[in-house]
Amino acid sequence: MKCLIVFLLLILLTGCSPKIECPVAIEQEVSNTNMEVITMYEYKAELVRVIDGDTLELNIDLGFGIKFNERVRLEGINTPETYGVKKDSDEYKKGMEAKLFVQEILKDQPIMIQTKKDKKGKYGRYIATVFVGGTTKMNLNERLVTENLAERVDY
């Protein structure tokens, strides 16, 4: 028992020695491994409008009667553009096809979104996976890929 007390006193008086790992060193080691803890959040939402095939404006229910409108980017996919391209181009036509598909799928359907804590894209939109339907929820992000209306991307 005396040895343990002497050992603890030595640690307290001299600080951490090179042979004894300090809690700070452990924290740094964990942060240096680039292991990111990702917290997922789920919210009910209502469709306000479809901006394009991969961007939605939603009225998001935060709970406790708090709702707010927010633009949301669909995670992991990209659809052809409808803004800034000529209306007679193939890209515009494919982009409109994706937009109309999303409008039809989300029309009068319950929506659930899943976001990662504080993750926003380069244009300030929250990045989300969108689920549609009641008991059997369909992943809209994946459905756009399987319908060949979007391609997978990492951003």
Global model pTM greater than 0.95: no
b (16+ CB within 10 A) / e for 25-52: eeeeeeeeeeeeeeeeeebebebeebbb
78 with 150: CB under 8 angstroms?
A: yes
How does pLDDT run across 76-94, given as a tens digit for each residue? Answer: 999 999 999 999 999 999 9
Tens of pLDDT along the chain (155 residues) come to: 555 455 544 444 445 444 443 333 233 333 445 556 566 789 999 999 999 999 999 999 999 999 999 999 999 999 999 999 999 999 999 999 999 999 999 999 999 999 887 778 888 899 999 999 877 789 999 999 999 999 999 86
Question: For all residues of the chain together, what is the average pLDDT?
Answer: 81
The fold of the 40-152 domain, in CATH, is OB fold (Dihydrolipoamide Acetyltransferase, E2P) (2.40.50)
Tell me how many degrees the CA angle 6-12-17 measures, rounded to the nearest 5. 95
Q: Show which residues are catalytic.
A: 73, 81, 125
Which neighbouring-strand residues pair with 78? 151
Tokens coding 61: 């229910």
CA distance 55 to 71: 7
Residue spans of the domains in the chain: they are 2-32, 40-152
Kindly write down the DSSP assignment for every residue of the chain, as one continuous string: -HHHHHHHHHHHHH---TTS--HHHHHHHHHHTT-----EEEEEEEEEEEEETTEEEEEEEEETTEEEEEEEEETTEE----SSS-TTSHHHHHHHHHHHHHHHHHTT--EEEEEEEEEE-TTSPEEEEEEESSSS-EEHHHHHHHTTS-EE---
